[in-house]
Each structure stands twice: as C-alpha cells, then as structure tokens.
Amino acid sequence: IKEVNAKLIGHYHYYGVTDNSNAIRAFGYRIRRKMFEVLNRRSQKKSLTWEGFAKLEKRFPLARARIYINIYG
C-alpha cells in the first residue's frame, strides 16, 4: 500500500491541475477497483467483498485524488 500510495501521490502531483479534476478522480476510482480485483485473486472463490475491502481501506487508506496546482490563481 505504501508503494501504491507513493505512485498515486506522484501521479496526482504531476497531473493534478485545475481543469483535470474529473480525470484525476476517475483515475483514483480505477486504481481502487484494480486493487479490489488484485486482492480478490488470492483464491478461486471470491475471498473479498466490497464491505471487506472498505474495512481494509479504512485501515490502510489509499491516497485520495486532489488538485495540487491552480492555474487560475
């Protein structure tokens, strides 16, 4: 999770400009879904539900999408 968060923060710093907020938010959502898929591949049956993933994410939160550069001000 630490490595994923470092990469996410780097991505948000680079692409986090004012007019790019929807794309940044969509990227964060796609990463969250991919993390769920990767964690769910541990066995042949579904071992993780969205509720379980939400509990896991509370304990180990992913970095949230944020605008770092305001080009208008």
pLDDT digits (tens, 9 = 90+) for 2-40: 999 999 999 999 999 988 989 999 999 999 999 999 988
Residue 64 placed within a domain: no
* Domain assignment present for 5: yes
The pLDDT of residue 18 is 87
Which amino acid type is present at position 1?
Answer: I
Residue 72 domain-assigned? no
Distance of alpha carbon 44 from alpha carbon 63, whole angstroms: 29
Question: What is each CA distance from 63 to 33, 58, 73, in whole angstroms?
Answer: 14, 11, 25
pTM: 0.81
Q: How many structural domains is the chain composed of?
A: 1
Q: Say how far apart CA 16 and CA 20 lie, in whole Å.
A: 6
pLDDT at position 30, please? Answer: 95
What is the reported pLDDT for 46? 76
Is 23 within the bounds of a domain?
A: yes
Domain that holds residue 55: 1-59
Q: How far apart are CA 14 and CA 24, in angstroms?
A: 10
**Distance from C-alpha of 14 to C-alpha of 73, rounded to nearest angstrom:** 18
Band (pLDDT 50/70/90 cuts) for residue 58 is very high
Domain membership flag for residue 20: yes
Is residue 29 in some structural domain? yes
pLDDT value of residue 73:
74
